[in-house]
Structure 1
Amino acid sequence: MRTEHNDPPPAVHLTGVTRSYGRGDAQVHALRDLSVSIPRGTFTAVMGPSGSGKSTFLHCAAGLDTPTSGSVRLGDTELSGLSETALTLLRRDRLGFVFQAFNLLPALTVRENITLPLRLAGRKTDQAWLTEILHRVGLSARADHRPSELSGGQQQRVAIARALVTRPEVLFADEPTGALDSRTAAEVLGLLRQIVAESGQTIVMVTHDPVAAGHADRVLFLADGRIVDSMSAPTTDRVAERMARLGAWV
């Protein structure tokens, strides 16, 4: 059972993060002195116009990219001082990733795709946990099927299960419903919402879709590399209105 805290320690904390590319007149600032905390056990959506820094934010928060300056902490771990090998191990052991592309191996079954991260890490599969995950994502009856035998929504459920099998501290999702129709997307988003509610999983999701953001606990709005606003208890209409004010649809 999830334990409630008045002030839970952050799962991810960014302090003064700037990410620049290029030099001189050609320099581009993807993130500018950005500071934010992501509380544990919450579902955070990150939105903003094209070029606002959403993907760079996710990449820096997840240790996939290194800030030009500033600090990124995963729990009590400062990422800036870690070697590339240490970062790779951290991403493998403590983080989960879901992308728009399902990235499933066609020759492997659902069960084999889900447990692939464990096999690559040389870790044994906890069969009880695997059974629970298969049930949670609604694929218990499909465990021995291959991706070609699944719908797009089912394939994304496999990708989510694969991200959860290592029991990550944070699950990062980059446009996870971008390749799905609206009905299937709603089912996947409902699943993510359920995972947060039932197991206290921390999820950070980049999306351009106000409907997707409406499933989150909080929405962070980025513009020109800065967080310019946030919204608690978001609804689709409120998010769409706020995005329109940012010029996202221009």
Structure 2
Amino acid sequence: MTNTEALRLDEVRKVYGDADHTDNTDNRVTALAGISLSLPAGTFTAVMGPSGSGKSTLLQCAAGLDRPTAGRVFVGGHEMTGSETELTRFRREHIGFVFQQFNLLPSLTVLQNVTLPLRLAGKRVEEGRAARILEQVGLGERLSHRPQELSGGQQQRVAIARALVTSPAVVFADEPTGALDTRSARAVLGLLRQAVRVHGRTLVMVTHDPVAASYADSVLFLADGRLVGRMADPTAEAVAERLTRLGDELVQKGA
């Protein structure tokens, strides 16, 4: 683990909707209420919280998929600003994504799906390197297969290889095991942890699953768009207990 900062959020706010001054109605919803955090390179962080806590919004703003209403986001020391075209280019060069739905192109082979981010970024396509990454995720013999010829767990492995091929500053994973059975989920989580431990990648994972969170180095807890806690060296039991407590606190607040 290094001391280099991979991701920083400075007072990031995200507000949806607007106030209508003609009839004094306010339809604004604050999804993020001033989040500040710093994550070192080479770390695995899980983000958790009750439904509506702002987890997905945090990921989207941190990954440049959505613009914050206020505040600043830095990935690999670079602030994410500029036009949509500039943001798209920045994401292609500095950020990797793993989603719950694998988002593989059915007409492309496994190898072609993995090298696609390099082609889109106009970078030199090193098929040998992509093949080595696929070998590392256990798919070295499936390079010419199409996604529909693979199991769900294997498709997610392809998505992980695709996320790693550009050597991104940060990989964002949004419920990466949500569509998988327990055995496949554990295999995928092990691969994500290996990407951090062995290859030095930085991983931020949104999940609702305490078992998935237990694979991370630390867990950030959100509630009402605010960062309300952090847990180092998490266990599934400790995470589940903290989530239950958070839910109870929100119920009491709403009562």
Structure 1 position 123, deviation (Å): 2.1
For residue 145 of structure 2, give the secondary structure of its aligned residue in structure 1: coil
- Which residues in structure 2 correspond to 1:54-69 (within 5 Å)? 54-69=55-70
**Residues 1:242 and 2:242 aligned together:** yes
- Which residues in structure 2 correspond to 1:125-164 (within 5 Å)? 125-164=125-164
> Aligned match of 2:15 in 9, 17, 20?
20
Structure 1 position 131, deviation (Å): 2.6
- Which residues in structure 2 correspond to 1:55-94 (within 5 Å)? 55-79=56-80, 81-94=81-94
**One-letter amino acid matched to 2:137:** V
Give the aligned length: 244
The 1-side partners of 2:104 and 2:77 are apart by 32
The 2-side partners of 1:197 and 1:9 are apart by 15
**1:95 corresponding residue in structure 2:** 95
- Which residues in structure 2 correspond to 1:70-219 (within 5 Å)? 70-79=71-80, 81-219=81-219
The 2-side partners of 1:160 and 1:40 are apart by 18
Could you tell which deviates more after superposition, 127-136 or 43-52? 127-136
Structure 1 position 135, deviation (Å): 1.3
Percent identical: 63
Which consecutive segments of 4 or more residues in structure 1 shift more than 6 A? none
TM-score by length of 1: 0.94
Structure 1 position 132, deviation (Å): 1.9
The 2-side partners of 1:177 and 1:119 are apart by 27
Question: What stretches of structure 1 of length at least 5 have no aligned partner?
Answer: none
The 1-side partners of 2:128 and 2:27 are apart by 53
Structure 1 position 75, deviation (Å): 2.2
- Which residues in structure 2 correspond to 1:23-34 (within 5 Å)? 23-24=18-19, 25-34=26-35
**2:22 corresponding residue in structure 1:** none
For residue 141 of structure 2, give the secondary structure of its aligned residue in structure 1: helix
**One-letter amino acid matched to 2:118:** L
**2:47 corresponding residue in structure 1:** 46
The 2-side partners of 1:119 and 1:78 are apart by 24
**One-letter amino acid matched to 1:78:** E
User: For each residue in 1:133-160, what CA deviation from the matched residue of structure 2 results, as whole angstroms up to 9, or x when unmatched?
Assistant: 0111100011111111111000000011
User: For each residue in 1:19-55, what CA deviation from the matched residue of structure 2 results, as whole angstroms up to 9, or x when unmatched?
Assistant: 0011232110000011011110000000001100001
Structure 1 position 127, deviation (Å): 3.3
The 1-side partners of 2:212 and 2:62 are apart by 20
Query: Do the aligned partners of 2:8 and 2:39 also contact (CA within 8 Å) in 1?
Result: yes
The 2-side partners of 1:82 and 1:107 are apart by 33
**1:37 corresponding residue in structure 2:** 38
The 1-side partners of 2:222 and 2:231 are apart by 12
For residue 166 of structure 1, give the secondary structure of its aligned residue in structure 2: coil
For residue 33 of structure 1, give the secondary structure of its aligned residue in structure 2: strand
The 2-side partners of 1:92 and 1:77 are apart by 14
For residue 211 of structure 2, give the secondary structure of its aligned residue in structure 1: helix
**One-letter amino acid matched to 2:174:** D
**1:220 corresponding residue in structure 2:** 220
Structure 1 position 9, deviation (Å): 2.5
**Residues 1:11 and 2:6 aligned together:** yes
Structure 1 position 170, deviation (Å): 0.5
Highest Rg: 1 or 2?
2
User: For each residue in 1:2-26, what CA deviation from the matched residue of structure 2 results, as whole angstroms up to 9, or x when unmatched?
Assistant: xx44xx1211100111100112321
The 2-side partners of 1:101 and 1:76 are apart by 29
Question: What stretches of structure 2 of length at least 5 have no aligned partner?
Answer: 20-25
Structure 1 position 183, deviation (Å): 1.0
Aligned Cα root-mean-square deviation (Å): 1.4
TM-score by length of 2: 0.92
The 1-side partners of 2:147 and 2:75 are apart by 33
